[in-house]
Amino acid sequence: MLAPLPTPATPRKPAADGGSSAPRSSREPSGTAAQGIIPRNLADVLEPRSLCYGVPAGPGWADCAFLTGPHGVARSLARVARAHPGASPEVAASYLANWYSAAVVAPAVASYVLLRRVPDLTPARMSLRVLDSGWFDRTALHRPVGTVLADALPAEGGDEHARPPGDGPDRVVGDLAALRGVLVDEVLAHLSPFVRELRARVRLGYPALWGAVAAQCARAFLLTERATGDPEAGRDEADAFFERAAPTMRARPRWHEFVHRGRPYIGMRCGSCCLAHRLGDEYCTTCPFTDDTERERRMRAWIDTQGHGGLAV
Ligand code: SF4
């Protein structure tokens, strides 16, 4: 399949959402309780999405217990279909699977890699803000507690930014493998009912739906390079994550590594097609059906469109 235009990892944020999804201050208040400061490196990795603490109020917000249930999934699918005339139910479901899972896993993965902290992803304790297009631009953790690696706990009187203020105790684990296990369990527990609801409504199988989740997990790991400066760290963490997440996320992405303008990059070949090009004339940088040469050409072009600090994902 030929690509008329280079594109980012799939499916991307709708351009129509423009300014409303622009990067926000990490201190921007939006909740009604337990607001805290999002560490700068975490905020940088998540852009153009953003994260806040507390129970949010205002238009567009819904809690994840609703969004993962039958009424929430039906409403989200209808919104995506309305915003994208001509989208089949399967295309709408693929977009929703990618966008919803990204809004849930991106903060969790980035927090795990950068802070060695896994937030509580219980659906009733999280909310997302949805735009008219169906894209989710903000994630709220109602209670900034979770599971933390013992070594990552701040010393008494230490850096307040290293830990979000909480209203309850954190769970502490002693090693990274245990923390990774918590991350996998939290992600699968949150997203399983959501994927089941989608599966019951459209002709997409579990490999495709969990493949969308896996793609967003992999992308979240690779984007931590924005903070670490190390392209291999996110890749290695992702490999360990997928080892624990099998067999549910069987259709995980494979890595596509190359050097561009003298710098190493890591991109992805997704485990399943996201159906993104059916809604536009652009093709994916992560397409599993194109050959390596064409995929790499798309990724090089995508890197160049981003300017300094651009990544392959
Ligand atoms: S076949 Fe699927 S993954 Fe490949 S470009 Fe088209 S929509 Fe994207």
Label residues 171-195 b or e (16+ Cβ within 10 Å = b): eebeeeeebbbbbbebbbebbebbb
Tokens for 21? Answer: 């999804």
Counting atoms of ligand 1 from 1, which one is nearest the CA of 286? 3
Task: Name the residue with higher pLDDT: 105 or 166.
Answer: 105
Q: Rounded mean pLDDT of 52-59? A: 94
Q: Which of 273, 282, 285 to mutate to test the pocket of ligand 1 (most atoms within 8 A of CB)?
A: 273
Q: What local confidence, expressed as pLDDT, does residue 37 receive?
A: 83
CATH classification of 24-251, choosing from 3.90.1150.10, 1.10.260.40, 2.40.70.10, 1.10.510.40?
1.10.510.40
Structure confidence at residue 141 as a pLDDT band (50, 70, 90): very high
**Is the Cβ atom of 95 under 6 angstroms away from ligand 1?**
no
Order the strands of the 126-130 sheet from edge to edge: 50-53, 136-141, 126-130, 61-63
Tokens for 174? Answer: 């002693």
Q: Rounded mean pLDDT of 291-305? A: 95
Q: Is 191 helix (H, G, I), strand (E, B) or coil?
A: helix
Overall pTM > 0.85 = yes
For residue 128, report the phi and psi dihedrals to the nearest 5 degrees.
-125, 150
Query: Residue 10 pLDDT more than 90?
Result: no
Distance, in Å, from the CA atom of 35 to the CA atom of 164, rounded to the nearest integer, reads: 9
Q: What local confidence, expressed as pLDDT, does residue 24 receive?
A: 32
Q: Which of 8-12, 167-171, 219-223, 297-301 has the lowest mean pLDDT?
A: 8-12
Distance, in Å, from the CA atom of 151 to the CA atom of 255, rounded to the nearest integer, reads: 30
Domain ranges of the chain: 24-251
Atom 7 in ligand 1: residue holding the nearest Cα: 275
Would strands 146-149 and 171-173 be described as parallel, antiparallel, or unpaired?
Answer: parallel
Kindly report, residue by residue over 189-237, the tens digit of the pLDDT: 999 999 999 999 999 999 999 999 999 999 999 999 999 999 999 999 9
Q: Rounded mean pLDDT of 44-59? A: 95
Kindly report, residue by residue over 247-259, the tens digit of the pLDDT: 999 899 999 999 9
